[in-house]
A and B are shown apart, each in its own frame.
Chain A
Amino acid sequence: MASITVTIKLFAHFRNGRFKEADHQFPPGVACRDVILGLGFRLGEMGIVMVNGQHAPLDHPLSERDTLALFPLVGGG
């Protein structure tokens, strides 16, 4: 496979000037970290990184049709 499609979802102020949800193409096995940096984020800004609804480490490799959700550090209760 030449490339994989990953759905990227952004939340809270990460959406400002970017997007809510978009499909992007990446090389197979691309790490979350590289996707995050490629979107212009600093790693220190990341609060929650989820792949398919589960928390994932920054070096987690992504597969075809994965959903990557990125949240700043936010909370409520």
Chain B
Amino acid sequence: MDKILRVNMTDLTTVVEEVPAEWAGLGGRALTSTIVVKEVPPTCHALGPNNKLVFAPGLLSGTAASNSGRLSAGAKSPLTGGIKESNVGGTAAQMFARLGIKALIVEGMPRGEGWYALKVGRDGVTIEEERGLLGLGNFAVIDALQALLGKKTGVIAIGPAGEMKLTSANISVKDPSGKIRSHGRGGLGAVMGSKRIKFIAIDDEGAPGIQMADPEAFKRASRIFTKALMDHPVSGQGLPTYGTNVLVNILHEAGGLPTRNFTHGQFDGHEQICGETMHDTIVARGGKPRHGCHAGCVIQCSQVYHDKDGQYLTSGFEYETIWGLGANCLISELDDIALADNVMDDLGLDSIETAVAFGVAMEAGILPWGDGKEVVRILREEVGKGTALGRVIGSGAGAVGRTYGVTRVPVVKNQAIPAYDPRSVKGIGITYCTSPMGADHTAGYTIATNILNVGGQVDPLKKEGQVELSRNLQIATAAVDSTGMCIFIAFPALDIPECLPALIDMINARFGAKLTGDDVTGLGKNVLKLERAFNLAAGLTSADDRLPEFFCSDPVTPHQAVWDFTNEEIDAFWDF
């Protein structure tokens, strides 16, 4: 039987609960957001005792379904002041699912100064005092726990940034190679730090495993689903070869690559940091151009990037990070960006929020444009050591802008805008404005249809069709985020007719359900509306569903595009 693990950090007690009937059909984002909405007072302080941190594997996590190993984390975000769900690969989701853990809810807050660790296993969860690993970076924490508990142990941890409760702090999850994946966005690491939990170790020895209602039907659907992933050129060939960083040259060409803190739409140094160059560099240095973030991933968009001496430098080296420190900060040396990525992973910082914060810091004159070495120094010596400057940068782009009087601060709901300029790729601007998560490209990835010709074509420079496109994608994404599936299954799902029905068939076979496509769409709509209601009750308004003013006034090269949606046009997003 599936169960809920509840941990109270105020009185240091734990309890195993039955799954309430109304949560039985939920997983991933649908479940974390439902629990946060039901149990967290919207106006509470995100770093206070009334916030809760919820982890939930997706509906299909732990099964043999390809790409189903995503773990959702949810809470009220200390960065946005609204609800947050952030999902991640790694090994934890599948371990939770095999242990029958539908969700882990962490509530309350210790009264004293002590730190703790949670140990999750087949008998539930225990709380232990923790001293030895405090202050250490994520890589050292994972290495130490593997030495202590064995190579198979699952790890969910925060680095020094989370311990300091910085609003860019992420939560790191061990991947199959013993490296790191991140619940990146929205400062969830600060919430874990406020609960004074340094790490959660998972032991799935003796786990009951997954109960499958109809194993044969599952196998049939799973084969069709996997074939669709392999057949689609994006998920089957493009992503495995070049990773997400193939987008540098595409967005540069389209004039949508935000450059020099969102001043221009193209970057002269694009060839030095692009996916094609990165691929050749990885191969020449003996790294791995293909790598999966969780067992059962057939797309393998990740990679292992080595330094000039052939030693590990970073992995999971994503387009958004490379864009953020590259084009946005004018750093054209890929090795500098890779080293910074490694340091951010180790400190436990969201690499999008932090990269955009550096762009604003460069605009403020704190460090020179393009100075990758100084970025690494500031990360290690200022953020890592908790100096005043380090804490400002580690609190995100909005904090840097407010502290230094910068007006070009690319954030929505105080969360940094990633890698696609909303003036020249207008659909993604609607997603940035309206997503309950704050500016988040993954919430409704219109780049697929605006730029990549997946799921049709909607002209990125015109307003027509963008609100509908973003709405449809945000609804679909909210549903996909609840299944435990990687969002990249959306590429085949948008183009290959058999793909989505096969996904629904797998959910039905797993639970003995009879969901239809309409039910899944309905789930996505419900999740979005729940999240929106939480934000409104927390004090956000439609005035928070807006891009910063400079996007309306400053045209971006080369198309001289501006953000020209009226407030009414943006608010029509919620007409469903």
Contact = CB atoms under 8 A, between A and B. Distances in A.
Nearest to A13: B241
B491 A75 contact: yes
B253 interface: yes
A74 B559 contact: no
Contacts of B233: 47, 72-74
B379 interface: no
Interface size class of A (residues with CB under 8 A): 20 to 34
Interface stretch (B117-125, B190-198, B218-226, B441-449): B441-449
A76 B559 contact: no
A75 B452 contact: yes
B238 A73 contact: yes
B276 A12 contact: yes
A56 to B, nearest CB: 11
Given A11-B276, A75-B234, A50 B254 contact: yes
Contact of B301 (A54, A71, A72, A76): A76
A53 B170 CA distance: 36
Interface string B255-281: 100000000000000010001100000
Interface stretch (B67-75, B359-367, B453-461): B453-461
A76 B253 contact: no
Contacts of B212: none
Contact of A48 (B241, B451, B558): B451
B453 A76 contact: no
B432 to A, nearest CB: 14
Contact of B445 (A9, A12, A48, A77): A77
B8 interface: no
Nearest to A53: B255
Given A12-B275, A13-B241, A76-B319, A47 B253 contact: no
B239 interface: yes
Given A12-B238, A53-B255, A55-B459, A73 B249 contact: no
B151 to A, nearest CB: 31
Contacts of B301: 76
Interface string B396-437: 000000000000000000000000000000000000000000
Nearest to B248: A76
Contacts of A71: 249-250, 253
Contacts of B250: 11, 48, 71, 74
Interface string A27-65: 000000000000000000001101001110000000000
Interface residues of B, number: 40
A18 interface: no
A9 B239 CA distance: 20
Given A12-B275, A72-B233, A76-B301, A48 B459 contact: no
Given A47-B233, A77-B244, A77-B447, A55 B276 contact: no
Given A55-B457, A73-B233, A50 B253 contact: yes
A24 interface: no
Contacts of A13: 241
B315 interface: no
A65 B309 CA distance: 43
Interface string B485-507: 00110010000000000000000
A76 B323 CA distance: 13
15 contacts: A9-B253, A12-B276, A47-B233, A48-B250, A48-B451, A48-B452, A53-B254, A53-B558, A54-B461, A55-B460, A75-B238, A75-B246, A76-B246, A76-B319, A77-B442
Interface of A: 9, 11-13, 15, 20, 47-48, 50, 53-55, 69, 71-77
Interface of B: 233-234, 237-239, 241-247, 249-250, 253-255, 271, 275-276, 301, 319, 441-442, 445, 447-448, 451-454, 457, 459-461, 487-488, 491, 558-559
Given A11-B276, A53-B255, A74-B234, 14 more contacts: A9-B253, A12-B241, A12-B276, A20-B271, A48-B451, A50-B253, A53-B254, A55-B459, A55-B460, A72-B233, A73-B234, A74-B246, A75-B447, A76-B245
